[in-house]
A and B are shown apart, each in its own frame.
Chain A
Amino acid sequence: SQELEQSPQSLIVQEGKNLTINCTSSKTLYGLYWYKQKYGEGLIFLMMLQKGGEEKSHEKITAKLDEKKQQSSLHITASQPSHAGIYLCGADGREAGGTSYGKLTFGQGTILTVHP
């Protein structure tokens, strides 16, 4: 089965600083999803990456998928307290040539704290 490793597990930054969260897969990624979660609440969809080398941005958050499609990074520029939360990466569980029936495997999450 596919496993996702996120690093770091937690991150504390000062407001205005840039930061990066990494997500590494044990297998080729056929779809990589980034979500944000406030503690004890549901997940908010951020971005989805599919192609090797793909990069997407939304406001101050940029996500990238490497060419080999086994690692993704989430970069936040000029962090704000509103960016605080738990960031999770999720991978499409599809094997080559198969179907995943929507099964997403998630990393353990990265807890981000932003001090004003």
Chain B
Amino acid sequence: ETGVTQTPRHLVMGMTNKKSLKCEQHLGHNAMYWYKQSAKKPLELMFVYSLEERVENNSVPSRFSPECPNSSHLFLHLHTLQPEDSALYLCASSQFAGGPHNEQFFGPGTRLTVL
């Protein structure tokens, strides 16, 4: 595997379910990100992890819980979601969090539908 991978690619869940999204980067980067992309809204940053430490939490509801066990893996744990949480969830990584030349490389995304 190369680059940034995400699983699953598609997920349908009920509002009472608990599920997790997984992201893995094979680029040797130190920073990882979760973004949310909803229809007709700009891409929104949710969380930033730098060296496995959360450095940014962009006012995200507590029903979204991130976890970064090591610099290569990032999870987004979901519970009691709402239909308006349906969106494309994108994971990204970069060499460092912040600083110049902070090119972020994105995974293919998980299309989440909450019923």
Chain A contact residues, CB within 8 Å of chain B: 4, 31, 33, 35, 40-45, 48, 50, 88, 90, 92, 94, 99-109
Q: How far is the CA of A86 from the CA of B56 in the complex (A)?
A: 27
Instruction: Pick from A40, A88, A92, A108: contact of B102, CB below 8 A.
Output: A92
Q: Given contacts A40-B111, A41-B108, A42-B107, is CB(A103)–CB(B99) below 8 Å?
A: no
Is B88 interfacial (CB 8 A cutoff)?
yes
Minimum C-beta distance from A97 to chain B (A): 13
Minimal Cβ-Cβ distance residue in B for A45 = B103
Chain B contact residues, CB within 8 Å of chain A: 4, 6, 31, 33, 40-43, 45, 48, 50, 55-56, 58, 88, 90, 92, 94, 96-109, 111
A-B contact pairs, 16 of them (CB 8 A): A4-B42, A31-B102, A41-B108, A42-B108, A101-B48, A101-B55, A102-B97, A102-B98, A102-B104, A103-B48, A103-B56, A104-B45, A105-B42, A106-B42, A108-B40, A108-B41
Instruction: Pick from B40, B88, B90, B98: contact of A101, CB below 8 A.
Output: B98
Q: Given contacts A42-B106, A103-B48, A103-B56, is CB(A94)–CB(B98) below 8 Å?
A: yes
Minimum C-beta distance from A99 to chain B (A): 5
Minimum C-beta distance from B21 to chain A (A): 13
Minimum C-beta distance from A104 to chain B (A): 7
Minimum C-beta distance from B22 to chain A (A): 15
Q: Which residues of B contact A50 (CB under 8 A)?
A: 100-101
Q: Which residues of B contact A108 (CB under 8 A)?
A: 40-42
Minimum C-beta distance from B103 to chain A (A): 5
Q: How far is the CA of A71 from the CA of B59 in the complex (A)?
A: 28
Minimum C-beta distance from B35 to chain A (A): 8
Q: How far is the CA of A1 from the CA of B97 in the complex (A)?
A: 19
Q: Which residues of A contact B45 (CB under 8 A)?
A: 103-105
Flag if A102 contacts B105 (CB, 8 Å).
no
Q: Which residues of B contact A104 (CB under 8 A)?
A: 45, 102, 104
